[in-house]
Amino acid sequence: MKLSNKVNYKTLKSLNPLNPIRGSKKRPKTGLSPGSIIYTGKIHAENVLIEVIDYTDGKMHEVNILNPDELVNYSHNKTVTWINMQGLHDTELIKKIGDILDIHPLTLEDVVDTGQRPKMEVYEDYLYITLKMINYNQELKKLDIEQAGIIVHANYVICFQEKPGDIFDSVRKRLRDDKGRARKRGADYLAYMLLDLIIDYYYEALDEVWNRIEFLDEQVVRRPERVELKDIQQLKRDILQLRRYIFPVKDALMGLENKESEVFSPSTLVFLRDTVDHVKQVVENIDIYREMISNIMDIYLSQLSIKMNEVMKVLTIIATIFIPLTFIAGVYGMNFEHMPELGWEFAYPKGFYLLIGVTTLLMIIYIKTKRWL
Residue 181 class from Cβ within 10 Å (0-12 exposed, 13-18 middle, 19+ buried)?
Answer: exposed
Band of residue 219 on the pLDDT scale cut at 50, 70, 90: confident
351 phi/psi in degrees, rounded to 5? -95, -65
Q: In terms of CATH, what superfamily is 9-303?
A: CorA soluble domain-like (3.30.460.20)
Say what the pLDDT of residue 4 is: 44
Given a cut of 90, whether residue 25 has pLDDT beyond it is: no
Lowest mean pLDDT among 72-76, 128-132, 247-251, 274-278: 72-76
Question: Which residue in 88, 77, 138 sits closest to 116, CA to CA?
Answer: 88
CA dihedral (142, 144, 145, 147) in degrees, to 10, reads 170
More confident residue, 37 or 348: 37
The Cα-based distances of 326 to 8, 195, 295, 353, 360 in angstroms read: 60, 77, 45, 12, 11
Given a cut of 50, whether residue 17 has pLDDT beyond it is: no
Most confident of 284-298, 315-329, 354-368: 284-298
Q: Are 110 and 34 in contact (CB under 8 A)?
A: no
Say what the pLDDT of residue 76 is: 73
Band of residue 158 on the pLDDT scale cut at 50, 70, 90: very high
Say what the pLDDT of residue 41 is: 78
pLDDT tens column, 230-261: 888 888 999 999 999 999 998 888 877 666 56
Report the C-alpha gap between 240 and 259 in whole angstroms: 29
Band of residue 7 on the pLDDT scale cut at 50, 70, 90: very low
What mean pLDDT comes out for the span 65-78? Answer: 82
Q: Are 44 and 162 in contact (CB under 8 A)?
A: yes
The Cα-based distances of 344 to 269, 339, 341, 355 in angstroms read: 105, 10, 5, 15
Sheet with strand 119-122: strands edge to edge: 60-65, 49-55, 80-86, 156-161, 142-153, 126-137, 119-122
pLDDT tens column, 143-156: 888 889 999 988 89
Given a cut of 70, whether residue 339 has pLDDT beyond it is: no
Residue 225 class from Cβ within 10 Å (0-12 exposed, 13-18 middle, 19+ buried)?
Answer: exposed
Query: Residue 61: CB partners within 8 Å, gap ≥ 6?
Result: 52, 53, 54, 55
Say what the pLDDT of residue 152 is: 92
pTM of the entire predicted model: 0.76
Given a cut of 50, whether residue 5 has pLDDT beyond it is: no
Lowest mean pLDDT among 22-36, 61-75, 135-149: 22-36
Lowest mean pLDDT among 115-119, 230-234, 253-257, 271-275: 253-257
Say what the pLDDT of residue 227 is: 80
What mean pLDDT comes out for the span 122-150? Answer: 87
What mean pLDDT comes out for the span 338-364? Answer: 69
Query: Residue 341: CB partners within 8 Å, gap ≥ 6?
Result: 347, 348, 351, 352
What mean pLDDT comes out for the span 196-223? Answer: 89
More confident residue, 192 or 46: 192
* pLDDT above 90 as % of the chain: 20
The Cα-based distances of 17 to 10, 11, 24, 71 in angstroms read: 10, 10, 18, 55
Angle at 35 between CA 30 and CA 37, to 5 degrees: 75
Q: Where are the domains of the chain?
A: 9-303, 310-369
Long-range contacts of residues 32-37, Cβ cutoff 8 Å, at least 24 apart: 34/105, 34/106, 34/109, 35/105, 35/106, 35/108, 35/109, 36/109, 37/91, 37/94, 37/95, 37/105, 37/108, 37/109, 37/112
Report the C-alpha gap between 105 and 255 in whole angstroms: 23
Given a cut of 80, whether residue 2 has pLDDT beyond it is: no
